[in-house]
Chains A and B, each alone.
Chain A
């Protein structure tokens, strides 16, 4: 009887994972339905995929403010943090579909699997956001990664794309190996994989080398996923080679999920390791900001530049994660990290949207010099790109400034003034290469060609407006982010 109860999920279990369940069912249904959608009308699949994401988003939003709950025998958790991350992931998914809609048609890549793979990846990410057990973390990681490997190589037989897919696959599996091994060591040290169990065992027992090594390996594994230096080598090549909408989705979604995983594992299960891990994290964050920004300077290809910029931003977000063992600062810094993720995600989709609008067949239109004359010929597009660049630098009147303000404040409240100084100095460096795009658009002459598609225009237009408007009224997002606390066991 007991056994049967354990196997059969209860309603309460389902309700903790409601948006996830809905999206999973929807995705499988879509997989079948796609068979009956004619080849030349795959736009319908895209719309259905977006609809599924929107429905799941609706349910996620209804979960906000609910009391934290666990389900599936302590495997999954629903709290403010997971609702926030899920909402962000689902919005990213919708934007990912919107960016791809015209692009895959134009580049002759339109196949139904594209959207279905994207949905599977979102499901994996959501699983990570709600994980309460190391096994769930790993499950989510694989579910998010495998579709992305395929998507990165989606433009086959283009060599760049195939190379991107293979590279991402090899290094991704490698990093997954690190995570599994880390989980195994943690299990070996504590005898359990559930967060609450690990927490109880880790905080009572004597310092355990096995546990520390395990945690470090998990950190390495997710370091790959979020593209933190020195685990960033794959990023520029993959971002450059993958179809641009895939890159856009990867840069936002995978990063959000990676940070969610790190916060879950370290914040709720392993705060006792703070004294060992904090110096490592400080170094990792500092290194990521420095290397990412310095390498971005010399890039002449916009996709590579944005790839390095996303590495640099991983560094900024990592800063929010540094005081994970300090219970009094953690809520503030988690909120700051979430806020920064939102601002980064919006800006990210906007800027990649512009890249997609500028991209031509056979990889043309991707050099920064191709942007010359944009300011004169397409003022709205250039203004939007300027907004994104300013936001990435962290200048008013954009959300990026508010995000940095919030983030640096959290870092300084935690007492890491040195890290904050590195953060602002690298922002200065970043101004140089972001401004180069602006210089090219407004101060050099050229005859750029732009593709105009309704969904694409809507994406970058809305992203630019939101980036500016939210910077004047950030208090609602502030409030939401600071209520999105991590459930601690």
Chain B
């Protein structure tokens, strides 16, 4: 009983209560199914807030630890080990926050097999929470691989026309990285005689040459997930084909699992290798920023544009993280949240208009602001946030990252930060280009097309407003007053960075 009442256990596995409830509701009662899932995810969010109130921001160490022996026979030393610190608290909150929003976005978009959809969605939430909380490598690996399965079904069953291709590609790509990580995990387990991450970090005795290989193996899993250029090719397919809710979670949370992995495992476990790798990662990140931005500009499909913009934005996160100084890492963590909010909102909004028009081709849109003003305003705020306008969240994150990258002794070359700054300008170009195509200018052909079918394009309804407004509030909040967010992570980041011996 004590085991089940641990705050973090409760938070991780609470969605299973909803899963159980869903199993007993017949498939035809779609409204009941939706409400059950929504209420479950809202309660999970409430639990994550409750966990936040118990979280002591000034303590850099793991808190609210739930630690039990799990498999300790035959030379195994595997623990059920959950813990929370400054690296994960914001991501846990983001997961709790985005899940109800995603579920709300499916209210009318998902009509087919609602029960299965909600089941998979709640299972996915369990996996995501587990990934951010697990402190034992074996446990982490289970959660990490487990997130693949519900997402695979979400894309494959409820996705667009090329959904099967996209789902299988997503699955195989991600698995390709994680199996190499599996071997590295096993090596660490044999070498350190434990799978507990804090214990392994405390040992600090992995030989430098081995560190290099282990770093590569872990990085393979995380870099694919992020995704870093040139391993990104699964992302546009998965995003374009996924249902809106899937895209929100994919961009908002699943990609962050990759960047989080670097922070939680690569940097503290393999400090020497991290320092060696920093310039190379910075190089790849910079290429990703420019490449992602350039490709985004070339898209005519709005969703694809947002998808490629993720490659660019996540490049910033990687650049900041491997600056390996306090500013860079803090900026990177904040930018993970920012990206979750702004890209989540963009996918949400694109999904909302798609539901009415069944097309995402920007060429047929135009002048939407006049027709749907609330929708236009929401999109404008999300776009400005995404491109990093001061006063909104994106600016704070990118600015801190660039500051960190300029001054980084690990990267040791201000050129990367300089080129990356161009990425900010390019973001303005492709995002404003999209906004102009869809919302300004003369009325696009699609408005007439929809009218021909007897009903005009409608603006956002109350449910849709309720879905998107929470995201917008946070964009302003982080943009105008980011201090509380930085305070949550600062001590842990300090500790992480000071453990690195930078020459």
B-contacting residues of A (Cβ < 8 Å)?
A: 332, 335, 375-376, 379, 390, 395-397, 401, 405, 408-409, 412-413, 417, 420-421, 424-425, 427-428, 431-432, 435, 439, 442-443, 474-475, 478-479, 481-482
Which B residue's beta carbon lies closest to that of A339?
A: B74
Which A residue's beta carbon lies closest to that of B168?
A: A435
The residue from A413, A427, A431, A475 contacting B72, defined by CB atoms under 8 A apart: A475
Which B residue's beta carbon lies closest to that of A477?
A: B73
Bound CA span A33–B182, Å: 54
Q: Are B153 and A442 in contact (CB under 8 A)?
A: yes
Q: Are B180 and A424 in contact (CB under 8 A)?
A: yes
Q: Are B157 and A424 in contact (CB under 8 A)?
A: no
Bound CA span A431–B168, Å: 9
Q: Are A417 and B183 in contact (CB under 8 A)?
A: yes
For chain B, give the interface size range: 35 or more
Q: Are A390 and B156 in contact (CB under 8 A)?
A: no
CB of B176 within 8 Å of the partner chain: yes
Q: Closest CB-CB distance, B274 to chain A, in whole Å?
A: 22
Q: Are B164 and A439 in contact (CB under 8 A)?
A: yes
Q: Are A405 and B186 in contact (CB under 8 A)?
A: yes
Q: Are A431 and B172 in contact (CB under 8 A)?
A: yes
Which B residue's beta carbon lies closest to that of A393?
A: B175
Please report whether the interface of chain A is mostly helix, strand, loop or mixed according to DSSP: helix
Q: Closest CB-CB distance, A326 to chain B, in whole Å?
A: 15
Q: Closest CB-CB distance, B286 to chain A, in whole Å?
A: 30
Q: Are B190 and A435 in contact (CB under 8 A)?
A: no
The residue from B76, B183, B190 contacting A478, defined by CB atoms under 8 A apart: B76
Chain B 123-145 interface mask (CB, 8 Å, partner A; 1/0): 00000000000000010011101
The residues of B that contact A479 with a CB separation of less than 8 Å are 73-74
The residue from A408, A443, A482 contacting B186, defined by CB atoms under 8 A apart: A408
Q: Are A439 and B168 in contact (CB under 8 A)?
A: yes
The residues of B that contact A417 with a CB separation of less than 8 Å are 183, 187
Which A residue's beta carbon lies closest to that of B181?
A: A424
Q: Are A424 and B182 in contact (CB under 8 A)?
A: yes
The residues of A that contact B156 with a CB separation of less than 8 Å are 439, 442-443
Please report whether the interface of chain B is mostly helix, strand, loop or mixed according to DSSP: helix
Q: Closest CB-CB distance, A365 to chain B, in whole Å?
A: 22
The residues of B that contact A397 with a CB separation of less than 8 Å are 142, 146
14 contacts between A and B (CB under 8 A): A332-B75, A395-B148, A396-B141, A409-B186, A421-B183, A428-B176, A432-B168, A435-B168, A435-B171, A439-B168, A442-B153, A443-B167, A475-B71, A478-B76
The residues of A that contact B15 with a CB separation of less than 8 Å are none
Please list the 9 inter-chain residue pairs (A to B) with the smallest Cβ-Cβ separation, ordered nearest first: A482-B74, A424-B179, A396-B142, A479-B73, A396-B146, A443-B156, A475-B71, A409-B186, A478-B73
The residues of A that contact B153 with a CB separation of less than 8 Å are 442
Q: Closest CB-CB distance, A382 to chain B, in whole Å?
A: 10
Q: Are A405 and B138 in contact (CB under 8 A)?
A: yes
The residues of B that contact A424 with a CB separation of less than 8 Å are 179-180, 182-183
Which B residue's beta carbon lies closest to that of A482?
A: B74
Q: Are A431 and B175 in contact (CB under 8 A)?
A: yes
CB of B67 within 8 Å of the partner chain: no
Q: Are A427 and B179 in contact (CB under 8 A)?
A: yes
Q: Are B172 and A428 in contact (CB under 8 A)?
A: yes
CB of B366 within 8 Å of the partner chain: no
Bound CA span A482–B73, Å: 8
Q: Are B190 and A409 in contact (CB under 8 A)?
A: yes
The residues of B that contact A390 with a CB separation of less than 8 Å are 149
Q: Closest CB-CB distance, A431 to chain B, in whole Å?
A: 6
The residues of B that contact A412 with a CB separation of less than 8 Å are 183, 186-187, 190
CB of B113 within 8 Å of the partner chain: yes
If A379-B116, A397-B146 are given as contacts, then 15 extra A-B residue pairs at C-beta distance below 8 Å, sorted by A number, are A332-B75, A396-B141, A396-B143, A401-B142, A401-B145, A408-B186, A409-B186, A424-B179, A424-B182, A425-B179, A428-B172, A432-B168, A435-B168, A443-B164, A479-B73
Bound CA span A439–B75, Å: 38
Which A residue's beta carbon lies closest to that of B179?
A: A424
CB of B60 within 8 Å of the partner chain: no
The residues of A that contact B70 with a CB separation of less than 8 Å are 475
The residues of A that contact B76 with a CB separation of less than 8 Å are 478
Q: Closest CB-CB distance, B66 to chain A, in whole Å?
A: 16
CB of B479 within 8 Å of the partner chain: no
Q: Closest CB-CB distance, A435 to chain B, in whole Å?
A: 6
Bound CA span A388–B1, Å: 31
Bound CA span A395–B164, Å: 20
Bound CA span A433–B184, Å: 26
The residues of B that contact A401 with a CB separation of less than 8 Å are 142, 145
CB of B163 within 8 Å of the partner chain: yes
Q: Closest CB-CB distance, B133 to chain A, in whole Å?
A: 16
